[in-house]
Structure 1
Amino acid sequence: MPKRAGFGDLELRILVIGSSGPSQFLLTNFILGREEFSEEVYSIASSQKNVGELVGRRVAVVNGPNLYDKDMSKSKMRKEMRRSMCLSAPGPHAILIAFELEKISPNDLKTPKLVKNKFGENVLNYSMILFVYDGHLSSRALNDKVMRTDWHLRELVEQCSCRYHIFSKNWRNPAANRELIHKIERMIQALGGHHYINRSYKRAEESVRNEERKLHSKKQSETKRTCRELEQQFRGDELRWQIDAYNASVGAEIRAKAELQNSWLRTSLAVGLGLGFVAGAAMGMIVGSVEGPAGMAVGGAVGGVVGGASGAAAQLAIEHIDDRVGSHPGSFNTAFVNRFYRAPPI
Structure 2
Amino acid sequence: MSASASQSELRLVVLGRPGAGKRSAVCTILGLQDTEQGTDAPGPQECSKHRGEAAGRQVVVVSSPPWFGSGCNPEEQRKHISSFIALSSPGPHVFLLCVPVNQPADGEMKALAVLSKLFGPSAVRSHTLVLFTYIDELEEDENLEEYLTTWRKDLLELVGRCGDRYHTLEARGGEPGDGTTVEGLLEKVEQAVRENGAQHLSCPLYQEAEERVRKRQVELVRQRRGEGLDDSPSEENMTEEEMEAEREEAERSVGDLNVDIDDIFPRTSVASAPSFLRSLWEKLMSWIYWLPTLVRREALLGSLVGLFVGGPFGGMLGTTVGSVATEVGRRKTEKTK
TM-score range relative to shorter protein = 0.5 to 0.7
Secondary structure of residue in 2 paired with 1:107: helix
Pair 1:204 & 2:209 matched: yes
What corresponds to 2:291 in structure 1?
none
> Does the alignment pair 1:27 with 2:29?
no
> What is the DSSP-based 3-state SS (H/G/I as helix, E as strand, rest coil) of the residue aligned with 2:146?
helix
TM-score of the two chains, using structure 1 as the length reference = 0.62
Q: 1:174 to 1:12 in 2, by over 3 A?
A: farther
Question: Is residue 114 of structure 2 the alignment partner of residue 122 of structure 1?
Answer: no
Letter in 1 for 2:154: H
CA distance in 1, matches of 2:35, 2:90: 25
Q: 1:20 to 1:169 in 2, by over 3 A?
A: farther
Q: Closer, same or farther in 2 for the Cα pair 1:38/1:188, shift >3 Å?
A: same
Higher helix share: 1
Give the CA deviation at 1:314.
Answer: 6.3
For the structure 1 residues 118 and 167, does the alpha-carbon distance in structure 2 shift closer, same or farther, using more than 3 Å as the test?
Answer: same
Partner of 1:107: 107
Structure 2 residue identity aligned to 1:49: K
Per-residue deviation, 1:316: 7.8
Percent identity of equivalent pairs: 24
Retained in 1: the 8 A contact 2:117–2:264? no
Shift of 1:22: 3.6
**Counterpart residue number, 1:257:** 249
| CA RMSD, Structure 1 to Structure 2 (Å) | 3.3
Q: Which residue of 1 aligns with 2:15?
A: 17
- C-alpha change, 1:251 and 1:35, in structure 2 (3 Å) is farther
Distance 1:207 1:249, change over 3 A: same
CA separation in 1, counterparts of 2:146 and 2:9? 34
Q: Which ranges in structure 1 are unaligned for 5 or more consecutive residues?
A: 1-6, 223-246, 273-311, 318-346
2:143 corresponds to which of 141, 145, 154: 141
Determine if contact 2:23/2:40 at 8 Å carries over to the other structure. Answer: yes
Q: Which is bigger in relative contact order (C-alpha 8 A, separation at least 6)? A: 1
Could you list the per-position Cα deviations for residues 175-198 of structure 1 after superposition, in whole angstroms to 9, with x for gaps in the alignment?
501111111111111111100010
1:59 is matched by which residue type in structure 2? V
Normalised by the size of structure 2, how large is the TM-score? Answer: 0.63
- Conserved in 1, the CA contact under 8 Å of 2:149 and 2:156? yes
Number of matched pairs = 244
| CA–CA separation in structure 2 for the residues paired with 1:111 and 1:160 | 12
Amino acid at match of 1:131: F
- Please show how residues 53-64 of structure 1 align to structure 2 within 5 Å: 53-64=53-64
1:103 aligned counterpart, secondary structure: coil
Residue equivalent to 1:155:
157
Task: Write the letter of the residue equivalent to 1:127.
Answer: T
* Comparing 112-121 and 37-46, the one that deviates more: 37-46
Contact 2:9-2:58 at 8 Å conserved across structures: yes
Q: Any stretches of 5+ residues in structure 2 without a counterpart?
A: 228-238, 267-337
Q: How does 1:165-314 map to 2 (within 5 A)?
A: 165-168=167-170, 176-220=181-225, 250-262=242-254, 265-266=255-256, 313=262
